[in-house]
Amino acid sequence: MTQQRAQQRKAVALISGGLDSMLAAKVIMEQQIHVEGINFYTGFCVEGHTHAIRKKDKKKNKRNNALWVAEQLGIKLNIIDVIDDYKDVVLNPTYGYGHNLNPCLDCKIFMVNHALAWMEEHDFDFIITGEVVGQRPMSQRKDTMPIIARKSHADDRLLRPLCAKNLPPTLPENEGWVNRDLLLDFQGRNRKPQIALAEHFGFSEYAQPAGGCCFLTDESYASKLSDLWETRGERSYELDDIMLLKVGRHLRPLPHFKLIVAREEGENHYLEGYRHQYVHLQPISHKGPLALLDGQADAGDLELAASIVARFSQGKRAEQVVVEVVDPRAGITSLKVAPLAASDIPDSWYV
């Protein structure tokens, strides 16, 4: 047996849960390479959260797509918590943001760099991603893809199987671990080649094409995050901050406080987990939502907050609603308030 035959080469695949990374991994597995997946959890991943919180989404499949993809491929998946390390990517992106607060190019460099560290620690040989030249406006362009390879320090150990023929040969190709002829030349935003390849491999089910997997690309979410930074006077965040931006109606009637009002039962349950950290309000004379108060509020502010929360209760047309206000440090009080009319809540209050 030759040395080459004795040593099976190993690749770590960035698995997002979308179709492209699934196909990229499969293309390389077809060449008898041992593949394991890696998935990074930044805190901004759409995956799972919205489905898990909202009752109206109960019928949606609550699976984690990255795990599901790994299971379809028959590979191991390592999910890595990068919440803290990722902050610098969000707060100080070298290459700036996309349309919203999405630092896509810095994000990809970060992920490939972390995959490289994992690869070296676990004695793997190279990294694969599902990137396609020309598919994404920031991180998947002919001029930015080499930047990812260089700045991540992966260099020629980064192989993009779906578009490899449009790029210079990488180490796995040059060393003969991978046959370049069997790699692909996809480019652009056309999804037909991916769908055809999925059919070829017998993948009849897969997650929707990539692009909607990060809250930072979402205009509404980015607006809430900007508001958080602006009102705190500093660009920083903790995990709870960014989780709460995904839940409820956010209303800022005054600069020094914001209300997070649950929209339905699932969100009520989720916000209950934060009752010990925040002043919170809930109607007790009528059925109504739990609301967290983020910021500082005096007695007059609490009256206003209670009348807003009452607006979203079943007593919104009642003359008076009793709202319980719980301050984890100061105790419980009840306020009798007149619910605000819809016309009393200006659009500008909605963050």
Closer to other proteins by CB, 144 or 282: give it.
282
Kindly state the smallest distance separating residue 350's Cβ from other proteins, in Å.
24
Length of the chain: 351
Cβ proximity to other proteins: between 47 and 131 the closer is 47
Query: Taking the chain, what is the end-to-end CA distance rounded to the nearest angstrom?
Result: 66
- The answer to whether the CB of 8 falls within 8 A of the CB of 34 is yes
Smallest separation (angstroms) from other proteins to the CB of 258: 21
Cα–Cα dist 339/344, whole Å: 10
**CA torsion 191→196→198→202, rounded to 10°?**
160
Residues 149-168 that bind other proteins (CB under 8 A): none
> What does each C-alpha distance from 131 to 24, 62, 188 come to in angstroms?
8, 26, 11
What is the nearest approach in angstroms of other proteins to the Cβ of residue 301?
A: 27
DSSP string covering 101-128: S--HHHHHHHHHHHHHHHHHHTT--EEE
Q: Indicate the residue among 95 and 274 with the shorter CB distance to other proteins.
A: 274
Closest CA relative to residue 342, chosen from 316, 306, 303, 314: 316
- Cα distance between residue 149 and residue 129, in whole Å: 11
Structure token pair of residue 26: 């499969």
Please identify which residue in 11, 70, 178, 225 interacts with other proteins, judged by CB under 8 A. 70
- CA–CA dist 110, 85 (Å, integer): 9
Indicate whether 313 belongs to the interface with other proteins (CB under 8 A).
no
Contacting residue, 8, 30, 62, 84, with other proteins by CB under 8 A: 62
Nearer to other proteins, 79 or 345 (CB): 79
Q: Does 41 bind other proteins (CB under 8 A)?
A: yes
Query: What residues numbered 216-275 form the site for other proteins, per CB under 8 A?
Result: 243, 269-270, 273
Instruction: Give yes or no for residue 21 binding other proteins (CB under 8 A).
Output: no
Contacts (CB under 8 A) with other proteins, residues 182-221: none
Tell me the sheet residues that pair with 12: 36, 127
| Minimum CB distance to other proteins, residue 150 (Å) | 30
75 versus 207: smaller Cβ distance to other proteins: 75
Q: With contacts defined by CB under 8 A, how many residues of the chain interact with other proteins?
A: 29
Could you say which residues in the range 282-311 bind other proteins, by CB under 8 A?
A: none
Tell the smallest beta-carbon distance from residue 219 to other proteins (Å). Answer: 22
Residues 150, 112: contact at Cβ < 8 Å? Answer: no
Task: Give start and end residues of each alpha helix (H) in the chain.
Answer: 3-6, 19-29, 49-53, 65-73, 83-91, 104-121, 145-151, 171-174, 192-201, 219-232, 239-244, 265-272, 299-311
Residue from 71, 88, 199, 234 touching other proteins (CB under 8 A): that is 71
Question: Applying CB under 8 A, does 48 fall inside the site for other proteins?
Answer: yes
Print the binding letters for residues 75-114 with other proteins: x by CB under 8 A, - otherwise: xxxxxxx---------------------------------
- When asked if residue 51 is in the footprint of other proteins (CB under 8 A), the reply is yes
Q: Which residues bind other proteins (CB under 8 A)?
A: 39, 41, 45, 47-49, 51-53, 61-64, 66-68, 70-71, 75-81, 243, 269-270, 273
